[in-house]
Structure 1
Amino acid sequence: MIGQLSGILVAKQPPEILIDVHGVGYEVQMPMTCIYELPELGEPVRVITHFVVREDAQLLYGFNTFAERSLFRQLIKAQGVGPKLALTIMSGMTAHQFVQAVTHDDVSSLVKLPGVGRKTAERLVVEMRDRLSNWGFATPATDAAPIDFGDLDPTVRSSSPRDDALSALIALGYKPAVAEKAVNTARKGQPDSVSSEELIRLALRAM
């Protein structure tokens, strides 16, 4: 079981990142709410991970805190929720916002997420209420001293922030037409230097 990775952040292609750990590159899928908080390329990073083994793939899902990983693990135990949908849910709202939605029976906020219909939202509220009663209170601390692995050139990406944002939203389950409309709306009034992470954040708000 791989529970944590510490290394250098060398690439971001939301919702996936690449971490170099002593010369070995690990591909990790993360919720957008976690990617927003990552450092710049070439900087030290530590992510808490959940390892999934399937017949056709071995996948790593990453989070910034143990509490976020705990929520992810509770989500994939819910009926009809796999890792991909759990990632989408945690990309559309922070872990705290999801817990608040469940606590207050806020089905309307959950149905706004791709792949979450009313029946799924209502089931999530019922199934997750008891599971999340002590969520986040008994998780290990995540503060750590800075990591120094020396100099490492970050991966250079050639695609545009718009293309990255569009690809990320589609990967999270949004239909291409919906994703493109949201990204185009998010770009209005933004400088050419706007990052893909910021475009994704704005696009999710626009939906």
Structure 2
Amino acid sequence: MINYLQGILVHKSPTKLVVEVNGVAFEVNITLFCFENLGEIGQKTKVLTYLHVREDILQLYGFKTNSERELFMHLISAPGIGPKKAQVILSSVAAAQLQRYIIEEDLSALTSLSGVGKKTAQRLILDLKDKVLSIDDMDRLPRKSEDMQTIDNLIDESVAALTSLGFNKNSAQMVVLKIVRKNNQEISLEELIKQSLQNL
């Protein structure tokens, strides 16, 4: 297993990053929490990783904390939860909050997450409650305060992030525009994606 990558951050988006390590560029799928806590492009960065192996492809998933990675690994061990869905779930809610939902058996909170129906929520509680109890107190990194981006870029980046997570582009655009209007165009990229995931 590749435990972590440390190198120069070459590219970042809300769902992916590219880090160059000794002349080799690695593409890593990331959660929104990881994206929020990355440094600037061109700077040195360290990303904890999980390598997902399939017959036809190897995919890296990246995290900023051990506890988020551990929760991701528990999620993909549950029936019906693949790495892409786990990435969406951990981009919809903070890891500490998801841990609490599972421990407290909060079905309504779990089913409010994108891609989680009642049966999946029940399986998460049944299969993961004891496992997530053993995770140390969830690491909490401070959110970065970012300048508001121009509204067009904000919409484009949000829609691109949502479509890369598997959502229909037209549906994503409609939801994003609705949220932007609702917030009078004053919303960060991270918050816009989070709210969109809750409405798709």
- 2:62 aligns with 62
- How far does residue 204 in structure 1 lie from its aligned partner after superposition? 4.1
| Partner Cα separation in structure 1 for residue 98 and residue 57 of structure 2 | 28
Among 184, 187, 191, the alignment partner of 2:180 is: 187
1:3–1:48 Cα contact (<8 Å) kept: yes
- How far does residue 130 in structure 1 lie from its aligned partner after superposition? 0.7
Report the more deviating stretch, 127-136 or 37-46.
Answer: 37-46
Aligned pairs (5 A) from 1:1-207: 1-136=1-136, 160-188=153-181, 189-190=184-185, 196-204=189-197
Q: Tell me the SS of whatever aligns to 2:77.
A: coil
- How far does residue 111 in structure 1 lie from its aligned partner after superposition? 1.4
Q: 1:177 to 1:87 in 2, by over 3 A?
A: same
- Over residues 119-169 of structure 1, what are the superposed CA-to-partner deviations in whole Å (9 max), with x where a residue is unaligned? 1111111111111111125x9x9xxxxxxxxxxxxxxxxx93322211212
TM-score scaled by structure 2? 0.82
RMSD, aligned α-carbons? 2.5
| Partner Cα separation in structure 2 for residue 94 and residue 105 of structure 1 | 16
| Partner Cα separation in structure 1 for residue 119 and residue 98 of structure 2 | 17
| Partner Cα separation in structure 2 for residue 45 and residue 28 of structure 1 | 13
| Partner Cα separation in structure 1 for residue 123 and residue 7 of structure 2 | 38
TM-score scaled by structure 1? 0.79
| Partner Cα separation in structure 2 for residue 39 and residue 204 of structure 1 | 24
One-letter code aligned to 2:4:
Q
Q: 1:46 to 1:201 in 2, by over 3 A?
A: same
The structure, 1 or 2, with the larger RCO (C-alpha pairs under 8 Å, 6+ apart) is 1
| Partner Cα separation in structure 2 for residue 99 and residue 72 of structure 1 | 11
| Partner Cα separation in structure 2 for residue 55 and residue 126 of structure 1 | 29
Report the more deviating stretch, 5-14 or 26-35.
Answer: 5-14
Unaligned runs of 5+ in 2: 140-151
2:9–2:45 Cα contact (<8 Å) kept: yes
1:165–1:199 Cα contact (<8 Å) kept: yes
Q: 1:195 to 1:11 in 2, by over 3 A?
A: farther
- How far does residue 187 in structure 1 lie from its aligned partner after superposition? 2.9
| Partner Cα separation in structure 1 for residue 84 and residue 98 of structure 2 | 16
- Over residues 88-119 of structure 1, what are the superposed CA-to-partner deviations in whole Å (9 max), with x where a residue is unaligned? 11111111010010111111122122321111
- How far does residue 185 in structure 1 lie from its aligned partner after superposition? 3.1
- How far does residue 199 in structure 1 lie from its aligned partner after superposition? 3.4
- How far does residue 59 in structure 1 lie from its aligned partner after superposition? 0.5
| Partner Cα separation in structure 2 for residue 99 and residue 123 of structure 1 | 14
Identity of aligned residues (%): 39
- How far does residue 206 in structure 1 lie from its aligned partner after superposition? 6.3
Q: Tell me the SS of whatever aligns to 1:56.
A: coil
User: How many equivalent pairs are there?
Assistant: 187
1:31–1:88 Cα contact (<8 Å) kept: yes
Name whichever structure is richer in helix by fraction.
Answer: 2
| Partner Cα separation in structure 2 for residue 79 and residue 199 of structure 1 | 29
